[in-house]
Amino acid sequence: MSSSAGEKTHPLLRQRDGQHARVTAVELFFDLVYAFAATQLSHKLLGHLNAQGVAETLVLWFAVWLGWQYTCWVTNWFDPERPAIRSLVFAVTLLGLVMAAALPEAFGERASLFAAAYVAIQVGRTAYIVSRLPADHPLAPNYWRMLGWLAIAAVFWLAGAFVFPQWRMTLWLVAIACEYLSPMFGFPLPGLGRSSTQDWTIEGGHLAERCQAFVIVALGEALVSTGATLSEAQDWDGTVLLALLAAFLTTVAMWWLYFGTSSEDATRTIERSDDPGRIGAYFHYVHAILIAGIIVGAVGNDLMLAHPHGAPPWAHAVALIAGPVIYLVGSAIYKKVVYGRIPHSHLIGAVLLLVVIALAPVADLLSMGWMACVTLLALGSWEGRSMIKRRNQSRGEAA
């Protein structure tokens, strides 16, 4: 912790001894619910490939991500091995399970159940932390401000669940804006002031590892979804097996572009920053894009396995390519945060993938899937060589 927040300790806080704070078993247990949530979102999008379905899935994804993100910050500051914090994580996990189960009908008959579970996660978790922090603790003002904004958002979440469906989208978008944008400005509230990222005394290695864990969860969901679709195929002929190979290699390429080229450097970027709270906030915003790309990519892979040949509907073609494009955009911004520049390879790859979408009238999903797969694999190789070159240059400068 920085000196400002470290002057007054608390028995529930993680002990900062200069070592990398490990991710605990209870945090990984908590992540299992979000594997289920990612599956629920991909299934919802797969069943509603239209403008309304995309908008609804996007709103729900932001809710899922915000619930995970705010909990991640709590377990970065507070020790999950302490019974009081472990119990909190278990309670949030149960509520998260209810929220995830309600996702497919969150804009329908289970709107109130979804909103109530989500609000209980966000407001309940934050209120609990506020109740355990002395008023004069350096983290207390930040949590009071956070609680204020989450309470404001809760009004819109709950109101949206009980109004006419046509108003629900608008109210829930306002709620998301409250939760997603308020940290950018330090949770400003009249009479309570605003927080500074210098006050967000995070442990950088732990935060990076938590983000990496969610990427693994999302990639795992993509593989599970591919396997489930394959198991439903009646004939495992050569076409289906080619589609399976393309889906698998596309997922591997996504893994490569993240873990094979930047994950270790990301940890060092946070740890060496003079404002780790600001970098940590960037990481969470960027990972919302990255993981959304993986979820959409899983939907595209399922469509390719189910309908490899024939002229694809426009919505199917867009879904197949949109996942890799979103993922590349998120990866480009992520590497901008880590390295201070956007890699040219990602820009070129995004353009090539857009060209693939333009080929939809004359190509089938299997062909388009393989073109996207080869593009991502080539980018992984390109980025891998660039990483080796950067590290060699760093060693040479150090010497």
Does the structure show a pLDDT above 70 at 1?
no
Under a CB-based contact definition with an 8 Å cutoff, are residues 366 and 304 in contact?
Answer: yes
pLDDT at 354: 92
pLDDT band (50, 70, 90) for residue 111: very high
Tokens of 156: 């819109």
Does the structure show a pLDDT above 60 at 8?
no
- Residue 30 one-letter amino acid: F
Instruction: Compute the average pLDDT of residues 152-158.
Output: 97
Domain ranges in the chain? 22-195, 204-398
- Look at 380 and 7; give whichever has higher pLDDT: 380
Which of helix, strand or coil describes residue 260? coil
Does the structure show a pLDDT above 60 at 398?
no
Distances (CA, A) of 214 to 26, 148, 162, 295, 336: 14, 27, 32, 12, 20
11 exposure class (CB count in 10 Å sphere: 0-12, 13-18, 19+): exposed
pLDDT, tens digit, for every residue of 287-340? 999 999 999 999 999 999 999 887 889 999 999 999 999 999 999 999 888 888
Under a CB-based contact definition with an 8 Å cutoff, are residues 11 and 74 in contact?
Answer: no
pTM for the complete prediction? 0.89
Instruction: Compute the average pLDDT of residues 123-134.
Output: 94
Under a CB-based contact definition with an 8 Å cutoff, are residues 223 and 23 in contact?
Answer: no
Instruction: Compute the average pLDDT of residues 339-364.
Output: 90
**Share above pLDDT 70 across residues of the chain, in percent, rounded to a whole number:** 91
- Residue 78 one-letter amino acid: F
- Look at 398 and 261; give whichever has higher pLDDT: 261
